[in-house]
Structure 1
Amino acid sequence: MSSQPSYLIIGAGVFSVSTAYHLIKKYPEASVHLVDRTPYPCQLAASWDWNKVVRADYGDLFYMEKALEAIQLWREDPLFKPFYYQSGIIKINNSDLGRNTLENYKKLGVKVNAKIVSPDRFKEEYGSFFEHTDFSEAKDVFVNEDSGWAEAAKALTAYTDAAINSGVKYTAKEIDVLTFGTDGGCTGVLTKDGTNITADRIVLATGAGTAKLLADSAPSRKELQVNGRLVAGAVITGIVNLDPKNGQQYTKTPVTVHGVPPTRGEVMPLTAPLSEKEPYTVKFCRDEAYKNTIKHEASGQEFSSPPSEPNQAQRRPNEGLKKRLDLVKDGILGEPGKEVKFDEYRVCWDAGLYLATGGSFHGWKFMPTIGRYVVAMLDGTLDPSLAKRWAWDRENNGGGAHSHLLPNIEMRDL
């Protein structure tokens, strides 16, 4: 019989699956149990998506190092390599972010195929795709040909398969509340259908639903409430279906991030269709986070939480969100983009007892490695500097990947 503690991991997104995978690889005899509300991959999770950017271009040295560590696996590991595309990435800036990023690569001694060029030089070098892009307020363009993107849902599914094939158990049930013992310690969960699932160690990787789950489970225990430590945020994304004539150019374009208002967003290429009958699909995303503040009566709190409507209303954004996404499309594609219409929308929510969550819309690329750090936390061997950076009760003085994505705009106000 295993002497290892049993583990129950709530959620089956990037943080959860990576943790389960690294746990079962380190402790093959341990009981590791993943529970999420639907069969995997759950389409309500932020980890599910058409595609995600994979890059290490951070102004923060710490996150650059961690991203470089993950990208090596995206490029080389047989589990992740089939889903990764090194398309390159370009960022249109009106700040010094590109220069700061290059300086950080130099500090780390990393050779990278990246440069900064003027908007005019960029248009000369990179062809007709950017002919109508709005560069009017741009200071420069950062180009990194070593970055790329990954097929998100397919990669997450393959990772979950690998974890299950290694001995992880998966259960599709919706969680009602956490359960606690007489000593106050968390013992497991109660599902909506009345099933009790217990373990020695409970890991919450519940993203945007974390604040509500904690409040529902222990409304009178102030030490367990989020209290601003996490803010559930949403971004708006959309898919455009194009015919082969107009779509082929997108399969060869880099990920394009336009950081200058009012555009503030990105466009990512998708893989070419499998047959001539299928359209070429291109994804746009608004680089801005929104919140949905609710009043939780039992705990007396107000916090942001995904809408309670079926499927979190993620396929039915309001008109204000749609207009924000149009700004991205029109800013990158220019006048021709005004003739392009979105075929599909998605509002993507992100965000003893252990918590492994808070990706700030930048956690997905760390999928190959993030679980290693969660396992170290569970084992009590996490480097003290990392424990301080990621602590539940840390001072709010930085430590996140991107502070500009803090959700400050109420969805209802759009």
Structure 2
Amino acid sequence: MVAASASAKASYLIVGSGVFGASTAYHLITRYPDASITLNKVVRADYGDIFYMRLGLAALDAWRNDLLLSPFYHQCIPVAKAKELFGGLYANANYEGIEDAFVNRSGGLAAATSSIQAIVGAAIQSGVKFVKGNVDVLLLGKLGCEGVRLNTEEVLKAGRTIVCTGAGTPKLLVDSAPENDSIHIGDRMCVAGVATGMVKLNDEQMNKFGRAPVFVNHTGETLGETMPPIPDNLLKFCRVASFKNTIGKMSGEFSMPPDEPEYGQWKAPPTLRDEIVTVQKGIYGGYADSIPVDQYRLCWDAITPNQDFIISPHPRVSNLYMATGGLFHAWKFLPVIGEYVVSMLEGTLDDETSRRWAWDREGKGGAHAARLPKRELRDL
């Protein structure tokens, strides 16, 4: 195991500016304002796993009360099944086999893009250097990881490199050391995709759907969710039945997003489009006919077998640290997850959490086992 320690005078390179990267940059510069730091989604706490319930409650408190992030958090009422609420908006949803409805009044919705932009902006204002560019490979030498090389051939170096690249992580490690599979992700993580759909509501439709809650319907064929049209009148639907995109390389087979611009995210095949329509009708019944989907999108994230994050030093590469494995639910922890990454860098993460988020650990149990992919994109 590579010893982890943070220092006010150390240099850090954070690869990836999503949830893990943005939150890490913010908390790292807050704790170590003199350090050199370069920085290259429904909020709830109802987990079956008590560990993530505690983490979710901590994040929920920050979403509500943190001066930086609270403007992007909107209290709402997530409901699993409820026929009589909201003027009967969900009266014709698919309730087959369901007798009881679960209403979570402690949850809410946070605007993902705006909140990440805010926390990145705050980190930059505090001294973090923000560099735009596509990372080609990690620079691996005899002393460990020395930084990254961009596809423009520009090199970024630092004493410690923190990989927060989500769905791009398996490919990045393989490309950086094609013949050294001891560095690769292997079966520690799988890249998975889900299909989403968006409806741009007009003013009249906003009068009907504008105050709709988060609605989760995992019954029958629906297997989906909808989110309120906040903030841009965009009513969103997601089907939770995920899929892989397995490809073969010299180092073996692994799943990765399509190797094309923007991961080909706007190219949803007809089968997945039909599944989004099924989600619509399973939630809104006949009302779905009045709100046809305008856009379809494929979203990708990294999933570990037991759905725990990987927040750990890389045990086989000095000065390389991993913070990834978001499982489509990590971004709700944006206000607090960076604190844990900084603690990992300092070597102060408690033993239970360190074991849980280690590079090598048991793969039993899970916070979101239903999200594990069982299908291939090419078959859809």
TM-score, structure 1 length as denominator? Answer: 0.84
Paired with 2:19 and 2:8, the residues of 1 have a C-alpha distance of 27
Matched, 1:145 2:105: yes
Matched, 1:409 2:375: yes
Paired with 1:365 and 1:206, the residues of 2 have a C-alpha distance of 17
Contact 2:86 2:212 (C-alpha < 8 Å) held by counterparts: no
| Match of residue 18, structure 2, among 13, 18, 24 | 13
Tell me by how many angstroms 1:345 deviates.
1.5
Paired with 1:272 and 1:247, the residues of 2 have a C-alpha distance of 11
Q: Which amino acid aligns with 1:397?
A: K
Contact 2:84 2:91 (C-alpha < 8 Å) held by counterparts: no
Structure 1 residue ranges, 4+ long, deviating more than 3 angstroms after superposition: none
Paired with 1:197 and 1:11, the residues of 2 have a C-alpha distance of 13
Tell me by how many angstroms 1:401 deviates.
2.5
Structure-2 residue corresponding to 1:159: 119
Contact 2:111 2:231 (C-alpha < 8 Å) held by counterparts: no
Paired with 2:26 and 2:96, the residues of 1 have a C-alpha distance of 47
| Match of residue 68, structure 1, among 50, 54, 57 | 57
Matched, 1:218 2:177: yes
Identity across matched positions, percent? 46
Paired with 2:160 and 2:330, the residues of 1 have a C-alpha distance of 23
Is the partner of 2:248 in helix, strand or coil? strand
Paired with 1:331 and 1:254, the residues of 2 have a C-alpha distance of 15
Contact 1:8 1:34 (C-alpha < 8 Å) held by counterparts: yes
Matches within 5 A, 1:265-280: 265-271=224-230, 280=233
Tell me by how many angstroms 1:338 deviates.
3.5
Contact 1:89 1:255 (C-alpha < 8 Å) held by counterparts: yes
Matches within 5 A, 1:68-107: 68-92=57-81
Structure-2 residue corresponding to 1:99: none
Tell me by how many angstroms 1:317 deviates.
0.6
Structure-2 residue corresponding to 1:47: none
Q: Which amino acid aligns with 2:20?
A: F
Structure-2 residue corresponding to 1:110: none
Structure-2 residue corresponding to 1:105: none
* Backbone CA RMSD of aligned residues: 1.4
Paired with 1:311 and 1:197, the residues of 2 have a C-alpha distance of 23
Matched, 1:284 2:237: yes
Tell me by how many angstroms 1:195 deviates.
1.1
Matched, 1:350 2:309: no
Deviation larger for 335-344 or 383-392 = 335-344
Paired with 1:188 and 1:90, the residues of 2 have a C-alpha distance of 45
Q: Which amino acid aligns with 2:286?
A: E
Instruction: String of CA shifts for 1:264-312, please: whole Å, max 9, x gaps.
Output: 1111112365xxxxxx321111112111001122x2x101000012221
| Match of residue 329, structure 2, among 362, 377, 382 | 362
Contact 1:360 1:401 (C-alpha < 8 Å) held by counterparts: no
Aligned residue pairs, count: 358
Tell me by how many angstroms 1:245 deviates.
1.9
Paired with 2:8 and 2:288, the residues of 1 have a C-alpha distance of 60
TM-score, structure 2 length as denominator? Answer: 0.91
Matches within 5 A, 1:1-80: 4-35=9-40, 52-80=41-69
Paired with 1:148 and 1:302, the residues of 2 have a C-alpha distance of 39
Structure 1's 70 and 23: CA in aligned 2 closer, same or farther, altered over 3 A? same
| Match of residue 160, structure 2, among 201, 221, 237 | 201
| Match of residue 308, structure 1, among 253, 256, 259 | 259
Contact 1:286 1:328 (C-alpha < 8 Å) held by counterparts: yes
Structure-2 residue corresponding to 1:376: 343
| Match of residue 280, structure 2, among 318, 329, 333 | 329
Alignment gaps of 5+ in structure 2 = 1-6, 303-318
Paired with 2:85 and 2:116, the residues of 1 have a C-alpha distance of 35
Is the partner of 1:409 in helix, strand or coil? coil
Paired with 1:319 and 1:243, the residues of 2 have a C-alpha distance of 26
Q: Which amino acid aligns with 1:293?
A: T
Structure-2 residue corresponding to 1:293: 246
Structure-1 residue corresponding to 2:223: 264
Alignment gaps of 5+ in structure 1 = 36-51, 93-121, 274-279
Tell me by how many angstroms 1:242 deviates.
2.5
Instruction: String of CA shifts for 1:366-398, please: whole Å, max 9, x gaps.
Output: 000000000011111111100100111101113
Instruction: String of CA shifts for 1:339-371, please: whole Å, max 9, x gaps.
Output: 531101211111111110001111010000000
Is the partner of 1:397 in helix, strand or coil? coil
Instruction: String of CA shifts for 1:247-272, please: whole Å, max 9, x gaps.
Output: 22222121000011200111111236
Paired with 2:258 and 2:47, the residues of 1 have a C-alpha distance of 31
Matches within 5 A, 1:103-122: 122=82
Q: Which amino acid aligns with 2:330?
A: G
Instruction: String of CA shifts for 1:102-139, please: whole Å, max 9, x gaps.
Output: xxxxxxxxxxxxxxxxxxxx423543201211112224
